[in-house]
Amino acid sequence: MTDLDSLVQRVAAKAREATAELPPVLSAVEVAAAEEILGFRLPPLLARLYKEIADGGFGPDYQLFPLNAGERTVISAYLAERAESSDGDNPHWPAGVVPILDWGCGMYAAVDCQSERASVLLFEPNGFDGDWTKAWSVDAASLEDWLESWLSDSGWFSVDEYDGDEELPEPSPWSLAADRLAVS
């Protein structure tokens, strides 16, 4: 068993423990069809989550979007953000970055499908001053790290009430934001 196999098993166990009824898993054909619509492949770990655990409905707080079935999906959110982003001279959503979870208030957790480690990014558009690069930060260096922080309740999103005594993990600015938004 590889470390990723172990991670997927632990995520599946927590998903089953935390969610009364998970959606069905997707087939390899369904994931490939979604990738065809997106125009790029999903990182292997993200694809495994959909094929081996469930079509969304698990994960931190508001839970992962389904891939392509339902009202709000990875595909529909990505296509909507890309369409809105391409209308104008100031793009806000880079190609190849799929929203996987809506934190509310316009904020997303998103996976950079073009990064080698599938970085998880935080899109926080509230209060930006016209520079969309400031709305993007790195939540975790990889999807693997992000899932580990969910499993261990150590991510910023795991803190229900902040009492001011503990140090919260802070997402760092996404250094590639300007370059990636410039080619959008």
Output the pLDDT for position 162: 46
Res. 168: pLDDT tops 80: no
pTM of the model: 0.92
Alpha carbon 161 to its chain's center: 23
Q: Tokens in use for 74?
A: 């990875």
Sheet holding 172-173, edge to edge: 97-104, 107-112, 120-123, 136-140, 172-173
Say how far apart CA 21 and CA 24 lie, in whole Å: 9
The amino acid occupying position 121 is L
The CATH number assigned to the domain with range 3-159+169-182 reads 3.40.1580.10
Average pLDDT value over all residues in the chain: 91
pLDDT in tens, 46-105: 999 999 999 999 999 889 999 998 889 999 999 999 999 887 778 999 999 999 999 999
172 versus 142: the higher-pLDDT residue is 142
Mean pLDDT of 31-52: 98
Q: Cα 166 from chain centroid?
A: 26
Q: What is the pLDDT of residue 167?
A: 62
